[in-house]
Amino acid sequence: MTITEFLSDRLRRFVLWAVFAAVTAAFLLLTGTQSGIVLLLGIVWALVVIGVQTADFLRCRLRLRELESIMEGLDRKYLFSECVPRARNAYERRLLELFCRAGRAMIGAVSDAQAAQREYREYVERWVHEIKTPITAAGLICRSADSEMRRKLTQELSQIEAHVERALFYARAESAEKDFVVCRASLAEIAAEAVGRHRSLLIQNGVRVETENLEQTVHTDKKWTAFMLGQLLQNAARYRSGSPVVTLSARQLGAQVLLAVHDNGIGIPAHELPRVFDRGFTGSNGHGRGGSTGMGLYLCRRLADCMAVGLQIDSEEGKGTTVTLIFH
């Protein structure tokens, strides 16, 4: 609290005191009291008021600083009402009681929301695991169809499987740190897993994958990193050029390892680059080609932040896009 805020908050009180002092001084002068005595009484009155208000200001400021320090020290700010010190007067006690009631209501609402979110996430995870069985069965059934029909059905099943996998990782991204298993991993193995998982999609879209210097090793979660690479490969296949090529290359830069995923696709307009990691953003390319959910790069950003992996994107419309993962 500043002195200006304190004075403006008590402006009406000061005006009333000034009016009372003026009326009292006029009454004393009219009743024959010497002006010197009236002036002396006015000075004493002003000094008393200034002293009392100064003490009140210092007390309020110290109290606010105490409460602010408690708030800053809390990880869960909504528990503030449960941690405030004892009230100093009846008014403050009643006010804190109201805050406590509101805080308990908020805690109950947060707990209910977290429980509902946890139940929904668990349901989504169970559903994803259950839906994989009929997807696999449908893939086996496709083998008995003719080559053209098999190709079309396999392509659609690959898309379904990609969406199902994205739903699973999105559900887990809310508490991704609980699912992390950070270990020393080879970028070559991670890239091979990502390419193998999306091999059908890449072949059907004629995408050639090239690798360079992937013998580097990093400390990361292999499953989540492979998922991120898979999203980038899907984007490269979706926004491909006439002769699509994706290059996975790694290099060491000081204490960092940089994994670059470069494609020669249609690229991203410069004015859309700052928004490509926003949830649900599809851009002009997504609208033009269809099938885009705007969730792939958003999930990559979420997972990269959780794993403390840097994520950068550079693109030039008509020439291609490069996404770089930076492992510390």
CA 290/CA 303 separation, integer angstroms: 25
Task: Report domain 185-327's class.
Answer: alpha beta
Q: Looking at per-residue confidence, does 297 or 2 come out higher?
A: 297
- pLDDT of residue 158 exceeding 80, the answer is no
User: Domain locations in the chain?
Assistant: 3-106, 185-327
Distance CA 2, CA 124 (A): 52
Q: Is the pLDDT of residue 148 over 80?
A: no
Task: Provide the pLDDT confidence category of residue 140 given band limits of 50, 70 and 90.
Answer: confident
Q: Is the pLDDT of residue 248 over 90?
A: yes
Predicted TM-score (pTM) of the model is 0.60
- Those residues whose C-beta lies under 8 Å from the C-beta of residue 60, and which sit 6 or more positions away, are 1, 6
pLDDT digits (tens, 9 = 90+) for 61-76: 888 888 888 888 878 7
pLDDT for residue 109: 84
Higher pLDDT, 249 or 241: 249
What would the mean pLDDT of 148-162 be, rounded to a whole number? 76
Give the pLDDT confidence score for residue 262 in this predicted structure.
92
- Res. 154: pLDDT tops 80: no
What mean pLDDT do residues 240-254 have? 88
Q: What is the mean pLDDT of the chain?
A: 83
pLDDT in tens, 95-104: 888 888 887 8
